[in-house]
Structure 1
């Protein structure tokens, strides 16, 4: 089977993260893209749904709060459920 070179433009961070992921799976970017393209051919389209998710305002607020907490160096953290329980009981 002959191959042809193809160029695509990818966000730098997406490329770094996906290269790391594919490496952990024992493949390179080229192999992963080939798998994706073959799946597109088999499915006659994208092999997954492309849609805009509809989250409730409550879910969106909770996600934003979680992001803020995760970036806060002063946020409490716990090594175990028992440590969390102890802190809640105090």
Structure 2
């Protein structure tokens, strides 16, 4: 049998449970999945996936899309000369 080294780590119980479910559906134990991750990291010479900004919630995603559409001229949005003019419009 091959020699092994132990790795001890702490994760949130819910995250562990969800990960076990995902990897279990692939026929892998959590230990096997971590070994795959480590092997791929060595092969890639770094993380075996692209690291990106976290996703925004649905409401924020919609607001970002709306702002992009306004900037692109696809949505007409009112313009204000000053903050006080904006606040007056909000109060109406």
TM bracket, shorter-chain basis:
0.5 to 0.7
In the TM superposition, what whole-angstrom CA distance separates every residue of 1:46-68 from its partner, at most 9, and x where no partner exists?
Answer: 0111121587x862449xxxxxx
**Structure 1 residue ranges (4+ consecutive) displaced by more than 4 angstroms after TM superposition:** none
Q: Closer, same or farther in 2 for the Cα pair 1:53/1:24, shift >3 Å?
A: closer
Task: Kindly name which structure, 1 or 2, has the bigger radius of gyration based on alpha carbons.
Answer: 2
List gaps (5 residues or longer) in structure 2: 65-92
Shift of 1:28: 0.6
Structure 1 segment 12-31 matched on structure 2, within 5 A: 12-31=13-32
- The TM-score, its normalising length taken from structure 1, stands at 0.57
List gaps (5 residues or longer) in structure 1: 63-90
Paired positions, count: 61
RMSD value, Cα? 2.5
